[in-house]
Chains A and B, each alone.
Chain A
Amino acid sequence: MENALALTRTLIDISTQIAIIGVGISIFLLLYRVLKGPTNPDRAVALDVMGITLMALAGLVTIIVVTTRLNDVVLLIGILLFIGTIALAKFIEKGVIIERNVD
């Protein structure tokens, strides 16, 4: 019984480390798109996906340091990402983020 528990813990640790390495690789590839991207919308989309991978990273770190306190952080990153992406999209589309008058 104790053996099975230790085996599960090792499996979770190894798979979390593999997932963190995968998320890290994807963050570097997205960083290449942010730096190299030919147009500004490319960079905006790359930053958006980078934020989503950061959410995944926060979830994986939650598994490694065994805690539930980081769940708020995941939700917080998602909300701030949404607002930031909308602000970037409005700036690219219209040139103003907060208009005075919306018809």
Chain B
Amino acid sequence: MKRNSNDLILKTMTSIIAFILLGFSVYLFFAGHNAPGGGFIGGLMTSAAIVLMNMAYGQSGMRNSLPINFRFLFKLGLLIALLTGMGSFLFGEPFLSQTFAYFQLPILGRTELATALLFDLGVYLTVIGVTMTIILSIADDRREEVTQ
């Protein structure tokens, strides 16, 4: 069924749309505190962008241009979530308690930074890692038959 293909439109569209998708996912990740969004849907959007790039450029091309081991990524996310939960022990607070403070940032001005964002970062990385591990290992199952 495989024939010589010329995916010029798909590849060009992917290189534009993947940027919009990644920007939207970062927006969703940061908007999660007081608008719809958060780590889960942001991670799903990022993995949607990576899946789109995988569909356009093939798995080996993506492995060259985005050399991330996604199995490592969800371990890192779980570790970040656990450490932000345990960081509250340093201040004598119960597990997973959070706080916030106001800071003067250079460009953004007076900003509220909460430690819930760090926990959300853990959720974000875990969601990306789990989805991409599932999808790429399902797409990869044909290699075993070739080597046998």
| Residues on A facing B (Cβ under 8 Å) | 69, 72-73, 75-76, 79-80, 82-83, 86-87, 90, 93-103
Contacts and interface: CB of A to CB of B under 8 A. Distances in A.
Majority SS at the chain B contact face: helix
Interface residues of B, number: 33
Nearest to A89: B10
Contacts of B125: none
B55 A86 contact: yes
A94 B1 CA distance: 6
Given A79-B45, A82-B17, A98-B135, A72 B37 contact: yes
Interface of B: 1-5, 7, 10, 17, 21, 24, 28, 35-37, 41, 45, 48, 51-52, 54-61, 135-136, 139-140, 142-143
A98 B1 contact: no
Contacts of A80: 48
B44 to A, nearest CB: 9
A100 B143 contact: yes
